[in-house]
Amino acid sequence: MASREEAPKVNAGSMADIAFLLLIFFLVTTTIETDAGLNRMLPGKDSPPPSDVYQRNILPILLNGKDELMVDGEIIDLKDLKDITIAFLDNGGASSESENYCNYCQGNRDVKSSDNPDKAIVSLMSNRETTYGVYITVQNELVAAYNNLRNREAQRLYKIDFTAMEALYDKSETPKAKKDELKMKIRSIQKLYPMKLSEAERQ
């Protein structure tokens, strides 16, 4: 009389160990990488070269093959680049009667420098021998100059930093209505200080 045997239970005691092994494997291989960097828009292939731009509205920045920096015909230190760029962009040299008058600029109103931020073009020229790291440092300083001015205006108009608004806009948690509002505000600040940065190769 054989009694009906039940199937033997599998011992689940080692389940935790197995799971731990897998866990440790994924822990080790995980790279939660979020890439970040400087965004740039290239000019289209047949965009016409800007015509009738006065010399005073261009800030020529030259980087030579020895990584030396020259702005407006003078060799300068990289640390001064941001201040020079800010002074150039924020100059607002057009007279108060002309249509180009910039009423929010706080610069020196030098007639030999840019008319208003909308007209001002920063032209960055590099050499084939320029080191990429140095090039990025210069780009970073230029973006910093724009962000500095944009933050100032955003603080004045909306009591919040421009960069903070952008970060908030990029977050996926931000509700749609808030995003639309932010987009409008970001656009308006970008209009005050549009980034006109031309990067050309020369020499």
Partner 1 sequence: MSKFKFKKNTNTPEVSTASLPDIVFMLLFFFMTVTVMKDDTLKVVNELPNASEIKKLEKKDRIITIYIGKPVEKFEETQGEQPKIQMDDRFVNLAEFGSRVLEAINERPEHLRGFITISLKVDKKASMGLVDDVKEELRKINALKINYTTYEGDAYKNLD
The CB-of-16 to partner 1 minimum distance in angstroms stands at: 4
Residue type, 19: A
Q: Residue 42 or 177: which CB sits closer to partner 1?
A: 42
The CB-of-109 to partner 1 minimum distance in angstroms stands at: 27
Choices 22-30, 99-107, 110-118, 150-158 (CB under 8 A): range interacting with partner 1: 22-30
CB atoms within 10 A of CB 115: 21
Burial class (CB in 10 A: 0-12, 13-18, 19+), 64: middle
The CB-of-100 to partner 1 minimum distance in angstroms stands at: 28
109 CB-side CA count, 13 A = 10
Q: x/- binding map, residues 141-160, to partner 1, per CB under 8 A? A: x-xx--x-------------
SS3 112: coil
Give the footprint of partner 1 on residues 106-145 (CB under 8 A).
126-137, 139-141, 143-144
For residue 173, state whether it binds partner 1 (rule: CB under 8 A): no
CB atoms within 10 A of CB 4: 4
